[in-house]
Amino acid sequence: MRNIYDYTLEDLESYFLSNGEKKFKAVQVFDWLYKKRVTSFDEMSNIKKDVIEKLKQDFTMNTIKIVERQEDIDVVKYLFELEDSMKVEGVLMKHDYGNSLCVSTEVGCNMGCAFCESGRLKKKRNLSAGEMVMQILAIEKDLSIRISHVVLMGIGEPFDNYENVINFIHIINSGKGIDIGARHITVSTCGIIPKIKEFIKDGNQVNLAISLHASNNKLRNELMPINKVYPLEDLMEILKEYEKETNRRITFEYILLDGINDKEENAIELSKLVKGLNCYINLIPYNETSHIKYKKSSKEQILKFYDTLKKNKVGVTIRREFGSKVMAACGQLRANYEEGK
């Protein structure tokens, strides 16, 4: 049986029509799931008993379990257990504009980025759309809050799980569902070009972020193996197409690693790389871990890098640091739990 949370509104409409029912019942079910937040089909009191029984035969309503929670100022990090006992993470960040959740899309990751804790434990499987949705539901229930922004930047490469990620976006963006605006949803990818092409073709209105982290192919090859398949010049070409087709601004994420990619020459090179694109660069202070050799750039070096980009007329921000008292690096909480068992 499939989990009901895996289904988009359109999927449920098709399900009811195929069973000789009116498709408006899908809206009723969505209302119970995402507005009233019931936890059993029997609570759906305006749906006929025979339909309820059919739903119970065809679907589960199993949810994910919170295994561990760590808190710091304006951040709460969660370790979730899935139905098959696999573990993933979610990170809730409190901003002045609302509550933002960093969602995991896979159990592990196969991209193998040298600086990333998530990829140390290789990918076991994709998450279903419902398992991503449940991260939102579990945290909203646990903290009695509303999540207003979602970023797909947790464990996993979202475009390596494309179909489920798109279904997840449709569920949380639906006005009948969780109702998070498209402009408040961001998908981050390390640069899988065929999927970026598909993303353009699908006409999604959510934000696109590119995990860049290097200013030239030689350095990016060392840090991010995906660059050997989809080098920077090809990535920039497809992003120009994305900009042309969507008229949307692109975010480039750039983690600053001490002595590796944080020099003035890297900033100048980066300025030239993105020249002409409607974009901005989000500079990210590195979260160090005991398993990985890279170190965080100094505040002084981060500011120098920022100033160089500014002087070269590049839009740039420095991401606020979260979680100094928790296992802040993506995948760190899961890895420590798994390796400590």
Q: Active-site positions?
A: 89, 330
Which strand (E) or helix (H) includes residue 333? helix 332-340
Amino acid at 317: T
Closest CA to 281 of 251, 236, 312: 251
- φ/ψ of residue 300, rounded to 5: -60, -45
What is the C-alpha to C-alpha distance for residues 16 and 319, in angstroms, rounded to an integer? Answer: 45
Closest CA to 327 of 185, 110, 155, 106: 155
Structure tokens at 44: 């759906």
Contact call for residues 173 and 195 (beta carbons, < 8 A): no
Q: Would you say the C-alpha torsion 269, 213, 249, 200 has a positive or negative sign?
A: positive
Structure tokens at 237: 């070409």
Which strand (E) or helix (H) includes residue 251? strand 250-256
Alpha helix ranges (H) inside 77-231:
129-143, 162-173, 193-202, 217-223
Q: How far is CA 127 from the centre of its chain?
A: 12
